[in-house]
Amino acid sequence: MPPIAVFYDPLFLEHETGEHPENKRRLVVARRTLVDSGLDLEWVTPESAPVSAIARVHDAGYIESVRKLAEGGGGWLDLDTAVSPRSYEAATLAVGAGLMAVDRALETGQKAFMLVRPPGHHACRSRGMGFCLFNNIAVAAAHAFEERGLERVLIVDWDVHHGNGTQSMFYGEPRVLYFSTHEAGHYPGTGMAREIGSGDAAGYTVNVPLQAGEGDGAVLEAFESLLAPLARAFRPQLLLVSAGYDPQSGDPLGDLRFSRASFQWMSARLAQFAEETGAAGPLCFLEGGYVPEMMADSVVATLIGLGGEAPAFEPTVGAAERADVRETLEEVRPYWKAAF
């Protein structure tokens, strides 16, 4: 098995956001921590994605507007989402990392971590928001369908914020099973349990909104009671992860209480799902996480888990965690009768 690939380029640091929570120090610290970790990693320099690949999920006019804004010196897409002179280049490079990772995973079985910015899971078809310009993970999934001929992709999103952009792009697409744990009622206000997909894809969007203060018990319950049977029934060919580190206890942009060990356990469990179902991946795309040192340590834990080393993980699952997962289960069970 090849070493885990980490996609990185110094250009990502030139997406300038100043003192914004999503700033270049996140990657500086994470890269240094990974280099010092002693893990067997392959550092890969990505290539920029062509506009044609990005346009599979984004409107051409929106893509062009981001390019022009950057070329004109930068500005803001909304109150939270900055564009600097080199942001367009960084964003197309971040997308390109995912395309390369998908190809490598399908050809060699290599797992990967996209140490990239700007992040992506809030970016919608014609609108950037929530610190995101282009939806890196959605473009990767579309590439898997259009260029590699895949028919089933599982996207797991464990960021504290719901990935509204990713959900919206695949809400009517039964080739994607989208599974998200996130803080209930938090930005951007989407991701309720009743949001389950539409048409032939009803039941293929699975949202598990968690109450503030919930942590590792919710992780265990959501994965074992809900995601595990769904993954076995869906049998993905590729497993992609929106890896946000803002649900970790102590992050200023969320009120969940995930531990460092939970990220190692989740990635190890996903690697096990991939092995059981014959899927390529997991391929992890960096999303949130706003305490750089804490985020970096949890990225290391994620890579250890991807390598197959699961931590001791036996958190207490309380009534609140069971109730949250049960609410989602009742919404999607009618569409997955063979799974439960």
Give the per-residue pLDDT at 226.
98
| Domain span holding position 160 | 4-335
| Tally of structural domains, the chain | 1
Give me the mean pLDDT over the 264-271 stretch. 98
Please report, rounded to a whole number, the percentage of residues in the chain having pLDDT higher than 70. Answer: 100
pLDDT digit string, tens, across residues 160-193:
999 999 999 999 999 999 999 999 999 999 999 9
The answer to the question of residue 261 being in a domain is yes
Question: In this structure, is residue 340 part of a structural domain?
Answer: no
The Cα–Cα gap between 289 and 271 comes to: 22
Q: Evaluate whether residue 202 is within a structural domain.
A: yes
Strand ordering across the sheet containing 205-210: 41-44, 4-7, 112-114, 280-286, 238-243, 153-157, 176-183, 205-210
SS3 at position 94: helix
What average pLDDT score do residues 132-141 get?
Answer: 99
Q: Tens digits of per-residue pLDDT, 72-121?
A: 999 999 999 999 999 999 999 999 999 999 999 999 999 999 999 999 99
Question: The domain that contains 230 carries what CATH number?
Answer: 3.40.800.20
Phi, psi of 225 (to 5 degrees): -85, -20
Q: pLDDT per residue over 269-322, tens digit each?
A: 999 999 999 999 999 999 999 999 999 999 999 999 999 999 999 999 999 999
- Specify if 308 maps to a domain: yes
Which of 201, 112, 206 is closest to 155 using CA atoms? 206
Residue 328 covered by a domain? yes
DSSP 310: P
Is residue 182 among the annotated active site residues? no
List the catalytic residue out of 15, 58, 121, 122.
Answer: 122
Q: Report pLDDT for 1.
A: 78
Q: Tens of pLDDT along 320-330? A: 999 999 999 99
Q: Is the pLDDT of residue 11 over 90?
A: yes
- CA proximity to 44, closest of 283, 339, 256: 283
